Amino acid sequence: MFRPVCTRAARQLTSSTSRAAVQQQQRRHASTPAAFDWKDPLGASNLYTEDELAIAETAESYCQERMLPRVLDAYRDEHYDPKILEEMGELGLLGATIKGYGCAGVSSVASGLITRAVERVDSGYRSGMSVQSSLAMGGIEEFGTEELKERLLPKLASGKSIGCFGLTEPNHGSDPGSMETVAKPHPSKKGYYSLSGSKTWITNSPIADVLLVWAKLESTGKIRGFVVERELCPPGTLETPAIKNKNGLRASLTGMIQMDECPVPEGNMFPEVEGLRGPFSCLNSARYGIAWGTMGALEDAIARAREYALERKQFKGNPIAKYQLVQKKLADATTDAAYGILAAYQVGRLKDEGKAAPEMISMIKRQNCDRALINTRNLQEIFGGNAVSDEYHIGRHVANLFVTQTYEGQSDIHSLILGRAITGLQAFV
């Protein structure tokens, strides 16, 4: 039933002739030693398949031509244009790794390349896409009933329906196991659960049609996943106010989910999964995407800092790029981006082979977010006073990357996950 949409999406993703693929072949056959390319220092593009290169090129073209021109106004006005999700849907970029249901069914590496292209423009745009793809669609695909998948995934894949993922609560962020949101049989509607509680800092929630909410089932005390459909919620049972005046991720929409005896059909509870395994499994995919995405933001910061340093002249007409301290900042950042991409690539390949341990994803999420934040903050100094102007884009990346280091497991929490895996001792409590 959904195959034509899927085929169309896959065709659009792979249709454009890949200049990069041709270059890759030329490089493979060259007899002379390869020249160093500061944009791809360790030659990661040699590892991608031709389809992956074509998908990356389609995503990069869309992001640079259609998203970049909008980002400054969006960031200034704290405005997220939901049409962006529809445009992404038309290109097959949403839920791209899902097979069937109108999704493109691409590799994890291809989806990472899409994420990197989007975050090269803005981490907020990438957040909106990740929540839709990995958290809402990924959760429904992994744990939902066939009825839910067939009914909801194609609309979410097209971007005509918007999804969000509600785990964090005002009093429970790093420790979601202590959540207070509760689900119990609805007192007056037979065949429905009633959800009550508050979620906060939820990307896309103010405009979401489909809200994947995690709540404790009162009868068992176990965490379960519920697909809340806004159109089924009577007035007063579901509110999703926006959180305004953020100083990061301003080009994405963030809000709360407030539920007061909100009715949810019994069939909308994920039937099998219990406890934190459900949300953590969805978060694994999203964290994998963040590891790629933050490298896109860092690469954009490197390109902009390099260009600025070559043009800006101080002391005897020298470009500041000539000075050693400036070069060291560029060398550090370029090295970290190259390593980060190779690490994300490796985990992507293992993921598709079913060999990616969650700790591997903690490792690349933590490392890539931390290195992206530290390096963009250092590169910011190359711009001097101009760094303060948003037209140089660097300050926006720095502010955004603080959030990427914080959400979906703050970096120190990922240190604890790794520490537990290394020592066998857990240090959370």
Ligand X SMILES: Cc1cc2nc3c(=O)[nH]c(=O)nc-3n(C[C@H](O)[C@H](O)[C@H](O)COP(=O)(O)OP(=O)(O)OC[C@H]3O[C@@H](n4cnc5c(N)ncnc54)[C@H](O)[C@@H]3O)c2cc1C
Q: Which residues are catalytic?
A: 408
Residues 221-280 interacting with ligand X (rule: CB under 6 A): 249, 254
Per CB under 6 A, the list member of 118, 228, 403, 417 interacting with ligand X is 403
Per-residue binding string, ligand X, 61-100, x by CB under 6 A, is ----------------------------------------
CA-based radius of gyration for the chain: 22
Q: Which amino acid belongs to residue 282? A: C
Which of 74/403 has CB closer to ligand X? 403
Q: Half-sphere exposure (CA, 13 Å, Cβ side) for 57? A: 19
Query: Based on CB atoms, which residue is closest to ligand X, 164 or 326?
Result: 164
For the CA atoms of 401, 402, 403, 406, the dihedral, rounded to the nearest 10 degrees, stands at 120
Question: Please, what sign has the CA dihedral across residues 386, 388, 391, 395?
Answer: positive
Smallest separation (angstroms) from ligand X to the CB of 397: 15
Question: Closest separation between CB of residue 76 and ligand X, Å?
Answer: 17
128 binds ligand X (CB under 6 A): no
The residue from 207, 350, 413, 418 that contacts ligand X (CB under 6 A) is 413
End-to-end CA distance of the chain: 49
Confirm or reject binding of residue 408 to ligand X (CB under 6 A): yes
CA–centroid distance for 322 within its chain:
36
Shortest approach of ligand X to residue 231 CB, angstroms? 21
Distance CA 259, CA 184 (A): 13
Report the residue number, 130 or 268, with the smaller CB distance to ligand X.
130
- Judged by CB under 6 A, which of 7, 12, 346, 410 binds ligand X? 410
Residues 172-211 that bind ligand X (CB under 6 A): 173-174, 201-203
| Alpha-carbon span 218 to 198, nearest angstrom | 16
Largest CA distance in the chain: 81
* Binding flag, residue 38, ligand X (CB under 6 A): no
d(CA 151, CA 126): 25
Among 55, 98, 131, 337, contact with ligand X (rule: CB under 6 A): 131
Closest to ligand X by CB, 165 or 292 = 165
Q: Does 168 bind ligand X (CB under 6 A)?
A: yes
Query: CB under 6 A: which stretch of 12-20, 47-55, 142-150, 409-417 binds ligand X?
Result: 409-417
Closest residue to ligand X, based on beta-carbon distance: 173
Stretch that binds ligand X, among 47-55, 66-74, 226-234, 406-414 (CB under 6 A): 406-414
Going by the DSSP 8-state scheme, the letter that residue 179 receives in this structure is -
146-165 residues near ligand X, rule: CB under 6 A: 165
Beta-strand runs (E) in 204-253: 210-217, 223-229, 238-239
Backbone angles phi, psi at 228, to 5 degrees: -90, 125
- Residue closest to 78 by CA, chosen among 305, 366, 364, 400: 400
Q: Which amino acid is at 314?
A: Q
Comparison of 201 and 345: residue with beta carbon closer to ligand X: 201
Least distance in angstroms from the C-beta of 418 to ligand X: 13
Nearer to ligand X among residue 364 and residue 403 (C-beta): 403
Give the Cα separation of 11 and 88 in Å (integer).
Answer: 14
Element at 258 (helix H, strand E): strand 254-265
Where does this chain bind ligand X (CB under 6 A)? 131, 165-168, 173-174, 201-203, 249, 254, 403, 406-408, 410, 412-413, 416, 428
